[in-house]
Amino acid sequence: GNSVTQMEGPVTLSEEAFLTINCTYTATGYPSLFWYVQYPGEGLQLLLKATKADDKGSNKGFEATYRKETTSFHLEKGSVQVSDSAVYFCALSDPLNAGNNRKLIWGLGTSLAVNP
Amino acid sequence: DAGVTQSPTHLIKTRGQQVTLRCSPKSGHDTVSWYQQALGQGPQFIFQYYEEEERQRGNFPDRFSGHQFPNYSSELNVNALLLGDSALYLCASSLEGRDTQYFGPGTRLTVL
């Protein structure tokens, strides 16, 4: 079945360090890929997305490129801040669902802690 | 532009009781999806509503039911609560034909 695998956390970095959070997926068809962020005690916020192969999503200094050949969508940021501390979720829209508004399939999340 | 809102924020119930959670979608959105997020886990899809009908459903028992109103707002009902139903319940809205879902802050349900 369709699935998303994320690197396990927690990830602990110093401020201004480079961040990579790995995400790989298994899917038939052509899913859209998403990164969501969840700050402590809050709901999920869309961080970025990509809808087709080689697309790059970007927002707030974060980037991820849809790599169909490696079935990956790794999240990167060149210089993290303390305020980036949160849980990051990779997700795909289930390509098996007919039509649009396909349900999202999620990874387990990766916790990031950034120290001053 | 109001985002997705959910009520209540927190709820405590005992086993066997019933609960109703509410969601108002982002302005202009017509599709509502519900997810259950257990502690330390990713969200799990419960079901999706469009045009007041359940359009998709995940692997949840019939104890979980929902409704969508003509103004696109939605309710999630859970009957005969179990301890394992304790979780954060998230509502997401989207526009028909679009993949991107926008989430509310969630309702934290604790079953004792």
At B60-93, the pLDDT tens digits run 999 999 999 999 999 999 999 999 999 999 999 9
**Whether A37 contacts B103, CB under 8 Å:** no
- For all residues of chain A together, what is the average pLDDT? 91
* B97 near A CB under 8 A: yes
Q: Do B99 and A100 lie within an 8 Å CB cutoff?
A: yes
Length of chain A: 116
Q: Does the structure show a pLDDT above 60 at A49? A: yes
Q: Is the Cβ pair B33, A108 closer than 8 Å?
A: no
- Render pLDDT for A66-99 as a digit per residue (tens, 0 to 9): 999 999 999 999 999 999 999 999 999 876 665 5
Q: Which residue has the higher pLDDT, A103 or A70?
A: A70
Determine, for residues B56 and A103 on separate chains, whether the beta-carbon distance falls below 8 Å: yes
B102 touching chain A per CB within 8 A: yes
Chain B positions touching A105 (Cβ under 8 A) are 45
B100/A34 touch (CB, cutoff 8 Å), yes or no: yes
Q: What is the mean pLDDT of residues A42-46?
A: 89
Supply the DSSP string of A84-116, one letter for each residue: G-EEEEEEEE-TTSSSSSPPEEE---EEEEEE-
Say whether residue B50 is in contact with chain A using an 8 A CB cutoff.
yes
Are B98 and A101 within 8 A, CB to CB? Answer: yes
Tell me the shortest Cα–Cα distance from B6 to chain A, in angstroms. Answer: 10
| Mutation for A interface: B5, B41, B47, B103, most A CBs within 10 A | B103
Residue pair A19/A75 in contact by the 8 Å Cβ criterion: yes
| Backbone φ, ψ for residue B41 (5° rounding) | -120, 170
- Measured CA angle at A17 (ends A11, A21), to 5 deg: 40
Q: Are A45 and B103 in contact (CB under 8 A)?
A: yes
Pairing, β A33-38 against β B19-24: unpaired
Interchain contact A43–B (C-beta under 8 A): yes
Of the partner residues A32, A44, A105, the one whose CB lies closest to the CB of residue B103:
A44
Min Cα separation A6/chain B (Å): 11
Question: Which residues is A64 bridged to in the sheet?
Answer: A57, A75
Q: Which of A40-54, A74-88, A98-112 has the highest mean pLDDT?
A: A74-88
pLDDT tens string B17-62: 999 999 999 999 999 999 999 988 889 999 999 999 998 899 999 9
